[in-house]
Amino acid sequence: MARPLLAVAAALMLLLFAAAGAHGFEIEEATVASIQLGFNNGSLTSVDLVRFYLDRIRGLNPLLRAVIEVNPGTVQQAARADAERRSSSSGKCGALHGVPVLLKDNIATRDTLNTTAGSFALLGSVARRDAGVVRRLRRAGAVVLGKANMDEWANFCSLAGTDGWSARGGQARNPYVLSASPCGSSTGSTIAAAASMAAVTLGTETDGSILCPASLNSVVGIKPTVGLTSRAGVVPITPRQDTIGPICRTVTDAVHVLDAIVGYDELDGAAMSAASKYIPHEDRWTKREEDRRS
């Protein structure tokens, strides 16, 4: 038992030294605002940031099981974001531009990533289009880092399900007390945020699946009003309660993510209409026109 513990301790020490590896910028627990400040003053690049989180995942994920799959194109996405920033006339971009985001494994992406809700039954399921919230994140310039572990089928496959366990991801573990419940079902997203394995993350909630794990893993989770964020492209439980929201280390970071993902999506029109008084009005027709052109 001593050798595995020593190996984990050594990995943690290496990660601590790596945290300051980007020209002296302290990446570990960096906020969205400090990341953008680093981008703008040249002390940080999106590629630096992505490589830090990939190293962090390699070091901690064997223990915490927060991440199911890493996006193989994430460094290339980050390099594009850096190039866009350099070519910008003002040199500044939006709050999430170049920022890596980790998505719960029931949120679809149009790339090489599987969308499986943690189940081997959907392994090989690569979506033909991004989920509505992912389209918005990409429009904001965010970098899709990968997919987070979760309760398999959002814990709706059994009355005796285990919090944070999926067939694909194994048993996710609370980073503060490994033997404590991490809660679910957005378990991997909350653990990744708490352990600085991603800058920001997304989860989903039907009945406590953002708020409970956020509480037990000491991070901030926001459960939006149903219909405020599009459920299109998300593995469903019930249209009456499903919603998608941010899970981050600070309230301000969660607000930045929520600002990016809120908006009308005609693929989830019924719920969006019900929540329309909370959705920025300029967005609806602009979004429809952009979708027609893409």
Give the active site residues. 104, 185, 209
Q: Give dist(CA 204, CA 222) in Å, integer.
A: 10
Measured on CA atoms in the order 180, 183, 185, 188, is the torsion positive or negative? negative
Helix, strand or coil, per DSSP, at residue 143: strand
Quick check: 175 and 217 in contact, CB under 8 A?
yes
For the chain, give the longest Cα–Cα distance. 61
- Per DSSP, what are the bridge partners of residue 100? 143
> Whats the size of the chain, residue-wise?
294
**Element (DSSP H or E) covering residue 246:** strand 243-248
What's the CA gap between 170 and 156, in Å, rounded?
A: 17
Which tokens hold the place of 261?
């993902």
